[in-house]
Chains A and B, each alone.
Chain A
Amino acid sequence: MIKVINMNNDEILRVENLHTSFFTSAGEVKALNGVSFSLKRGEVLGIAGESGSGKSTAMLSIMGLTGEAGRVSADKLEFMGKTLDAENIKSMRGKDIAMIFQDPMTSLNPVLSVGYQLKEALKRHHWEGSIRDRVIDIMAKVGIVPAEERMKQYPHQFSGGQRQRLMIAMSVICSPVLLIADEPTTALDVTVQAQILKLLREIREYSGMSMILITHDLGVIAGEADRVIIMYGGEIMEEGTVQEIFKNPKHPYTLGLMKSLPKPDSKRERLIPIEGQPPDLLNPPEGCPFVKRCQNAMKICLHKKPEVSVLSDTHKYSCWLEVKNNA
């Protein structure tokens, strides 16, 4: 299948040096430590990493949804030329930037009808035209029919896959410029996963919106994304186009992820897990967050954050190995 990608240089999102902390009774959890990236119109950016790597936190920070315990700071946090401060994000949430979440079973309000929940965003953002028609239209588009009847029903009357379709309908109902999908298929059956991904692809092709796809499934990223960010311990380890990351992975962590991924052409080869645990973000490591689990860890990795090595316009990674090899 040929993907239609609108690759002009129209940048819609720019994040520079994003830090997010959560204040808990145990102390400050530094969930993000200086994350920078950007996104172009129509582009699909995949963010991969294991749980606790900060990928979801990064998205919630952009959305201003980190809650009372969260503190977000960044050198730059711009969307469509506007700084995403508390005021701006309020009017943009659900309209220009939308988000869907991992677990469709718990993401819909059980005591409100799905029709009501779909209408809400339209009302909030002063939709011009018939709200009812738009709801019916979008429900049909995500394949929940007959819409007139089903909009009166409640979430528990839908299956997991259908609920995720409803979540997608709810998020794209105001035609956002950017959709953040936080592990949209993790909680679903494999066959349903494929359907949901296909639906998201159709909506993108039709509306030209950008998407940030968060997942720990590299297979999904390979199939859907244009560019990839690999995160670990609240920092970006490696960044590049899908071609660059999958053909030429550089960072030891990315290599580890690739090795732990089953490949169809090498049935005999054993999958190699990455040993150890992710870092404790209550006491984040001084140096590289991956140092504990890295096979090639060196003395400098313990105490100093690695420099960013630039391999191409799009391919960058942060590791002392590159510096050592060049020294």
Chain B
Amino acid sequence: MYNSEDFRPLTPEERASSEIQRPSKTYWADVWSRLKADKLAMLGLFIITVIILFAVFAPVFSRYEYDEMDFNFSNDPPSFTHWFGCDMFGRDLFIRVMYGARISLAVGFIASFISLFIGVIYGGISGFIGGRCDNIMMRIVDVIYSVPAMIYVILLMVVVGPGLKSIFITLGISYWAPMARMVRAEVMRLKNEEFVIAAMITGASPSRILFRHIIPNSMGAVLVTLTFSVPGAIFTEAFLSFVGLGVSAPMASWGVLSSDATEALAIYPWQLFFPAAAISITILAFNFVGDGLRDALDPKLGK
């Protein structure tokens, strides 16, 4: 029934071939491969890249300037010469939306990075030191939380005065509290992990442990918060523009453009459509990337 060949011991080669070789990947490579599998996240990344490219290069190649007025084209509808139409001063809306992208994206990224910087340091120190210091620092965050952030931003804007720089600063120093809370929670969680204890035993200094060992390990959560805070800042800037605290003319963010357009909405609805669509698509793209990133970092929650 069986021949002796069946019962000969396995050769080392046969033994090796029966092992399934699974390439071992680093943590971030693993995250990236999961993110790549997420179509929506990839679409979001693609959209963001396209918008950034447009924001950087479209003004360079355009026939028009963002502040170039021509009253012959006042409130013209979209056409082949003016893709998005013109505003009441006859300024080309396409180029204004592209310039708006520069401003809105700059606000989104710079404000987010400022709040990230403050939040990571504040939350990191608070969580790492713990005890009384943590208590006081978190009490301060609680106070900040008890005022609606938007009111805080508006107050600061009133004090600092409108303008692009004030927006960077104001948003940067207003929105760090959630980041600080999140980083603190991460630090508290990681602080008792073995690799941190190991670093302590080797005699690493507290600041080295915090910034070399703990913070890098909480980068995943920070990155997710960041992808959601960029569109948040873009949103807030649009909101500020709408209540009259945005960047000053003739510069225009997407918020200013939409805000201006609402005045004549009944007659020239397309003037609102293009900047509003730009805001929505950008925020949608960031949301896709953020959702994808969160799932990629925490695969048990994913599909």
- A327, B10: Cβ atoms under 8 Å? no
Q: Chain A's nearest CB lies how many Å from the CB of B145?
A: 25
One of A53-61, A100-108, A289-297 at the interface: A289-297
- B7, A327: Cβ atoms under 8 Å? yes
One of B14-22, B108-116, B212-220 at the interface: B14-22
- A299, B18: Cβ atoms under 8 Å? no
Contact A298:B10 (CB < 8 A) given known A25-B303, A327-B2? yes
- A285, B18: Cβ atoms under 8 Å? yes
The complex places the Cα of A285 from the Cα of B17 at a distance, in Å, of: 12
- B18, A291: Cβ atoms under 8 Å? yes
Q: Is B6 in contact with chain A by the CB < 8 A criterion?
A: yes
Count of inter-chain pairs, beta carbons less than 8 A: 42
Contact A300:B15 (CB < 8 A) given known A25-B303, A283-B20, A324-B7? no
The complex places the Cα of A291 from the Cα of B6 at a distance, in Å, of: 14
Q: Is B9 in contact with chain A by the CB < 8 A criterion?
A: yes
- A292, B2: Cβ atoms under 8 Å? no
Q: Chain A's nearest CB lies how many Å from the CB of B290?
A: 20
- A320, B7: Cβ atoms under 8 Å? yes
Contacts of A298 in B (CB 8 A): 6-10
Contacts of A283 in B (CB 8 A): 20
- B2, A297: Cβ atoms under 8 Å? no
Contacts of B8 in A (CB 8 A): 298-299
Q: Chain A's nearest CB lies how many Å from the CB of B301?
A: 13
Number of A residues, CB within 8 Å of B: 17
The complex places the Cα of A302 from the Cα of B22 at a distance, in Å, of: 19
Number of B residues, CB within 8 Å of A: 16
CB closest chain-A residue, reference B19: A292
Q: Name, among A296, A298, A323, A324, the residue most crowded by chain B CB atoms within 10 Å (CB to CB).
A: A298
Q: Is A120 in contact with chain B by the CB < 8 A criterion?
A: no
- A297, B303: Cβ atoms under 8 Å? no
- A292, B15: Cβ atoms under 8 Å? yes
Contacts of B15 in A (CB 8 A): 292, 297
Q: Chain A's nearest CB lies how many Å from the CB of B218?
A: 24
Contacts of A25 in B (CB 8 A): 302-303
Contacts of A296 in B (CB 8 A): 9
* 17 A-B contact pairs sorted by A residue (CB < 8 Å): A25-B302, A25-B303, A285-B18, A291-B10, A291-B18, A292-B15, A292-B19, A296-B9, A297-B9, A298-B9, A299-B5, A299-B6, A299-B9, A302-B18, A324-B7, A327-B1, A327-B2
Binding site for B on A (CB under 8 A): 25, 280, 283, 285, 291-292, 296-302, 320, 323-324, 327
Of all A-B residue pairs in the complex, the 3 with the closest CB atoms, nearest first, are A300-B6, A324-B7, A297-B10
